[in-house]
Amino acid sequence: MGKGSIVAGVLAPHPPHLVYADNPPQNEPRSECGWEVLRWAYERCRASIRALNPDVLLVHSPHWPSFIGHHFLGLPRFQGLSVDPVFPHLFRYRYDVKVDVELSLQIRDRVAAQGQLTSVVENPDFRLDYGSIICLHLINPSWDIPVVLISANQSAFYYSNEVGADVAKIVGNATREAVEASGKRAVLLASSSLSHRHFVHEPEIPEDMSFERIHHHGQYLWDMKVLDMMRKGQCRELLDIMPEFNEMATAETKVGSLNWLLEALGVPDYPAEVHGYGTVIGTGNAVVEWTASKPRGAQ
């Protein structure tokens, strides 16, 4: 078996609005349009990822929050209905997901070997989280690539951002080592927004884009600062300021998905490609791709 590799990493936000606006057959609600700039960003990223011909997609999702350690899927297939608990009027999606159980358990073993608590889902009634479902649909709507889902440990909320970052680093390194040992080509998806303060009202028609803007200017400044660092390959510096970003921008990255991605990628010092940025009900969302094999400065 040849050496496996992480062929790309993607910051892949999961607003259900993007699936809603796309009207895929799996989703029950219907829309007329909406959030095109972000959806086009996903289209570009999707084409880029497809060209890399990955064997597996790995997702770290804030909407599978784990209080105790990290959880992994241990069954080869999960089917069901995912209903967004916050936006049920937008997202009621029937999924049928194939799991790369072998890789899932290899990562689990390596995380456990580092002294972290782990748990494997072997209950077939388990419902996959909508954050994972949404970003997987947006990256691979044909669902023809097996997946590995990793829960997001919540220690940043119970202890501190620094504790959360340390845990994400362990899981990120374990992910990279397991992928390399597997011989597979993997794409990693950090299912996360950037700034994450929502409006608490919405327009009567959810896709009314005249409503859509960032919640406040401070959030926008922080999002641009962070994206600029990604574009310049300053991910080490980004990890350094992440605790402050998490707090100042109420960022969803506090959950650790972006930390996990950057650590698994070996903390990239090459430029990321920002496919697009847009707001969803006030939150800041960017589709960002790190592909080491692409010529630098390709953006």
Partner 1 sequence: MNQGLISKAYIVSGMPHSYLTPEASPSFARLSEAYAKIRREIEESDADLILYFSTQWLSILGYMFQADPSPEWLHVDQNWHQLGSIPYKFAIDTAFAQSYAEEVDALGYKTRLINYHGFPIDTGTIVAQKLLNPQNRLPAAIVSCNMYSEKDETTRVGQAAARALQASGKKAIAVLVSNLSNRYLVEAYDPKNNRISSKKDDEWNRKILDLLAKGSLEDVSQCTREFARQANGDQKFKGAWWLNGLLGQSNAFNGQVLAYEPVWGTGAAIVALTPTQPVQAVALEQSQSSEEGSQAALVEELTDFEGRSRPHTTAPVRAERAESKLPAETKLPANTQDAFPDFEINSEKSAEPVGSYPHARRYGDLLFLSGIGPRQPGQKEIPGVTLDADGRIVAYDVRVQTLAVIENIRRVLESAGSSLEKVIDVQAYLTNMKADFKVYNEVYNEAFGKIRPTRTTVEVGALPTPIAVEFKVMARP
List contacts with partner 1 (CB under 8 A): 64-69, 71, 81, 83, 85-89, 92, 117, 119, 121-123, 125-127, 129, 151, 154-155, 157-159, 197-202, 210-211, 215-217, 281
We find the least distance from the C-beta atom of residue 199 to partner 1, in angstroms, to be 5
CB nearer to partner 1: pick between 156 and 264: 156
Q: How far is the CB of 116 from partner 1 (least distance, A)?
A: 9
Q: Which of 128, 40, 48 is nearest to 294 (CA)?
A: 48
Compare residues 72 and 245 and give the one whose CB is closer to partner 1. 72
Q: Which two tokens stand for residue 239?
A: 């990890």
Q: Which is nearer to partner 1, 237 or 247 (CB)?
A: 247
Contact 55, 142 (CB under 8 A): no
Beta sheet of 118-121, edge-to-edge order:
118-121, 70-73, 147-153, 56-66, 185-190, 5-11, 283-290, 273-280
Specify whether the CB–CB gap between 224 and 233 falls below 8 A: no
32 φ, ψ (degrees, to nearest 5): -105, -20
Q: How far is the CB of 149 from partner 1 (least distance, A)?
A: 11
Identity of the residue, 24 or 158, whose beta carbon is nearer to partner 1 in the bound complex? 158
Nearer CB in complex with partner 1: 119/173: 119
- The DSSP result for 158-227, as a single string, is HT-HHHHHHHHHHHHHHHHHHHHHHT-EEEEEE---SS-PPPS---SSTT-TTS---S-HHHHHHHHHHH
The answer to whether the Cα torsion of 85, 90, 96, 100 is positive or negative is negative
Give the shortest CB-94-to-partner 1 separation in angstroms: 10
Q: Which residue lies nearer to partner 1 by CB, 131 or 233?
A: 131
| Least distance (Å) between residue 264 CB and partner 1 | 21
CB 123, min distance to partner 1, A: 5
Q: Which is nearer to partner 1, 208 or 269 (CB)?
A: 208
Residue from 277, 237, 206, 261 nearest 31 by CA = 206
> For residue 244, what are the contacts with CB-CB under 8 A and spacing of at least 6?
none
- Which amino acid is it at 42? Y
Query: Minimum Å distance from CB 93 to partner 1?
Result: 10
